[in-house]
Chains A and B, each alone.
Chain A
Amino acid sequence: MLIMQTIVNGLLIGGVYGLVAVGFSLVWGVANIINLTHGVFVLLGAYISFWLFKLYNVDPFLTIPLSMVSLFLLGFFIQKYLLNYVVRAGVFMTLILTFGLARIFENQMIVAWTGDWRTVTTSYAGSGLAIGGVSIPYIRIAVFILALLFCMGLNTFLNKTKVGMAIRALTFNVEGAIIVGIDIGKIYAITFAISAAMAGAAGSLISTMYSFSPFLGTPYLSWSFVIVVLGGLGSIYGAIIGGIVLGLIESFTVLTIGPGYQVAIGFVILVIFLILRPQGLFGKKFLT
């Protein structure tokens, strides 16, 4: 029964891990930007939910659209007015720039919401299903399903719409995309904005399950790195599967070796994957 519970826990948390990583993976795959503010975007989404819940008692699940829209706009402006100016200077320049941005946001979050741990506790937080000794909170089921829906929606957008196809075109051949008239500056901005919106949605979902503080940006970022390497760069389903694999690995590490080692195991797997299978489980090789 303990095994079943471990599997269920790992699986359900894996969905939201995947949603955290999917935008990170997209921006990296499309624009070749390693966005170190991604963890901060997740936190901003969580704080938007926290604020609306605390001030106006809005259900955190209903705050998701607002989180997504706010972060979409923020992401769009960051890419258009900052990152687009250094994209061609190389990946490490954008990386350092986003590092600087992350410090600014972290600082502002501490000023706005203090360094305290915050939680969003809804009236239904404790209730759940119990099937044969395995307990499953309703919130985790809802979060898992929503995370999968968001990723599927993103996948449909990338495959069926004109903008989505332009985004995908940039992952294959930038020069070719320019020749056929794609405005890459604009497409980069939209890609970055979508990535931030996904992070915002993930943040709102996370706020229903865990407590958070302004210092959690780096751990969320670390998950994203591990998941992208596991699932493969730029692959939407790779991110979801990578998230679930990471969730399962973490919960089994807690069961067998003990709590505290799950992050170490995650990083050891990251290094092993980079050495043996750098394209990840499903994706393609990194752009260099």
Chain B
Amino acid sequence: MVLIALMIGVFVLLVLLPFFVSGYWVRLFTHIFMYAVLAESTNILMGFTGLVPFGNVVFFGMGAYLTAILMGNGIPFFLAILIGAVISFLFTLAIGHPILKMKGHYFAIATMGVSEAVKQITTNLDITGGGSGLNIAPLQLPEVQHVYLFFYFLMFLILILTVLITFFISKSRMGYALRAIKANEEGAKSIGINAPLFKMLAWAMSAFLTGLTGGVFAYWMTYIDPPGVFDIVIAVKFIIMILVGGSGTIMGPLLGAFFIEFISELVWSKFLVFHLTILGGIIVLVIIFMPKGFIWFYRKRFTLSALLENVREGKV
């Protein structure tokens, strides 16, 4: 009950927020929502099946580029992002079969390879504008403030959609099937779970949402280039957010995204020169003391002994 009340409270707060704060905060929160969607959608695969998609940023880039190219050819925005998302979905179905057979490192590196290959090809094609990137005609509204609000609420809507999808997957037969695969794939197969199909669906769903967000990002930024939207560092960031928050939980990736983006923005504005050092330091500390994530720490009631127990467990 308390949890539901809390969620409704946060929801109302976030709906009202952009009307009371400056454009800077609206943009920061739009950014946080974007990363929350990306982390949560990556979590559909990573959290439930344990496969770590190192190159999931490829769908972000594909969504962004497809939206930019389609809009350049006169296709309206909402149709363009939808096409981008559907093509990302279909792309996983095309490459999923051989790649999802791999486990652990194999899978992580293969997805990274796909992502880097697509990035390099994008950098060299004419239709994508090569290394110099693409411009998108910006959204024209009577007031600049309205443009901010448009993207704020659009990202918020996609975030709610993503959380609902994750929630339903986790409660559905598919969620149980995915967890069974995570625990023991051979065992899951032996009781009749179609493991390849469920893994493929989970990855395709995460690709769909990531592609959709990429499209919105392109229209929001009005300019994209290959290093900006295919950066492997972005993909690693999703994974860090999931780990910081708690893998396989629904709230974990959201908290992780909020924490990492908020801290990195604060650090960036206060310590311009050393911000990467401080961010890197935070990552190092979190991994050493809280490798199971914030949700786990909450369940342990934030005790110091739980943190030290982690250090002892991991040490060789």
A binds B: yes
A52 at the interface (CB under 8 A from B): no
Total CB contacts across the A-B interface at under 8 A? 138
B102 and A278 within 8 A (CB) = yes
Chain B neighbourhood of A85, CB < 8 A: 288, 311, 314-315
Chain B neighbourhood of A54, CB < 8 A: none
Whole-angstrom distance between the alpha carbons of A141 and B19 in the complex? 66
Whole-angstrom distance between the alpha carbons of A104 and B280 in the complex? 5
B103 at the interface (CB under 8 A from A): yes
| Among A88, A96, A106, contact of B314 (Cβ-Cβ < 8 Å) | A88
B113 and A271 within 8 A (CB) = yes
Chain B neighbourhood of A218, CB < 8 A: 232-233
Closest chain A residue to B46 by CB distance? A92
A158 at the interface (CB under 8 A from B): no
Whole-angstrom distance between the alpha carbons of A99 and B274 in the complex? 16
Chain B residues numbered 264-286 whose CB sits less than 8 Å from any CB in chain A: 273-277, 279-284
A286 and B106 within 8 A (CB) = yes
B284 and A82 within 8 A (CB) = yes
Asked whether A229 and B284 contact (CB < 8 A) given A275-B98, A275-B99, A286-B104, the answer is: no
The segment out of B65-73, B81-89, B118-126, B199-207 that lies at the interface is: B118-126
Most A CB contacts (10 A, CB to CB) among B99, B101, B232, B276 go to: B276
Chain B neighbourhood of A185, CB < 8 A: 315-316
Whole-angstrom distance between the alpha carbons of A278 and B108 in the complex? 13
B104 and A288 within 8 A (CB) = yes
B120 and A97 within 8 A (CB) = no
Closest chain A residue to B124 by CB distance? A260
Chain B residues numbered 145-166 whose CB sits less than 8 Å from any CB in chain A: none
Whole-angstrom distance between the alpha carbons of A106 and B276 in the complex? 8
B287 at the interface (CB under 8 A from A): yes
A68 at the interface (CB under 8 A from B): no
Q: How far is the CB of B68 from chain A (nearest CB, A)?
A: 20
Chain B neighbourhood of A261, CB < 8 A: 120-121, 124
A155 at the interface (CB under 8 A from B): no
B102 and A92 within 8 A (CB) = no
Most B CB contacts (10 A, CB to CB) among A86, A225, A288 go to: A86
Q: How far is the CB of A2 from chain B (nearest CB, A)?
A: 22
| Among A84, A100, A188, A263, contact of B280 (Cβ-Cβ < 8 Å) | A100
Asked whether A84 and B287 contact (CB < 8 A) given A260-B124, A268-B113, A274-B113, the answer is: no
Question: B-facing mask of A30-45, CB < 8 A → 1, else 0?
Answer: 0000100000000000
Asked whether A104 and B276 contact (CB < 8 A) given A92-B52, A274-B110, A275-B98, the answer is: yes
Chain B residues numbered 217-270 whose CB sits less than 8 Å from any CB in chain A: 232-233, 236, 239-240, 243
| Among B109, B277, B283, B316, contact of A96 (Cβ-Cβ < 8 Å) | B283
Asked whether A268 and B243 contact (CB < 8 A) given A85-B314, A107-B280, A218-B232, the answer is: no
A101 at the interface (CB under 8 A from B): yes
B105 at the interface (CB under 8 A from A): yes
| Among A97, A107, A184, A225, contact of B283 (Cβ-Cβ < 8 Å) | A97
Q: How far is the CB of A217 from chain B (nearest CB, A)?
A: 11
Chain A neighbourhood of B110, CB < 8 A: 270-271, 274-275
Chain A neighbourhood of B52, CB < 8 A: 92
B280 and A86 within 8 A (CB) = no
Whole-angstrom distance between the alpha carbons of A213 and B118 in the complex? 24
Whole-angstrom distance between the alpha carbons of A270 and B105 in the complex? 13
Chain A residues numbered 157-189 whose CB sits less than 8 Å from any CB in chain B: 184-185, 188
B120 and A100 within 8 A (CB) = no
A148 at the interface (CB under 8 A from B): no
Chain B neighbourhood of A88, CB < 8 A: 313-316
| Among B98, B106, B113, B279, contact of A103 (Cβ-Cβ < 8 Å) | B279
A121 at the interface (CB under 8 A from B): no
A268 and B117 within 8 A (CB) = yes
Q: How far is the CB of B11 from chain A (nearest CB, A)?
A: 31
Q: Give 16 A-B pairs besides A89-B287, A89-B291, A104-B277 with Cβ atoms closer than 8 angstroms.
A: A34-B105, A85-B314, A87-B315, A88-B313, A93-B287, A96-B240, A97-B288, A104-B276, A111-B274, A218-B233, A271-B113, A274-B106, A275-B110, A278-B102, A286-B105, A288-B105
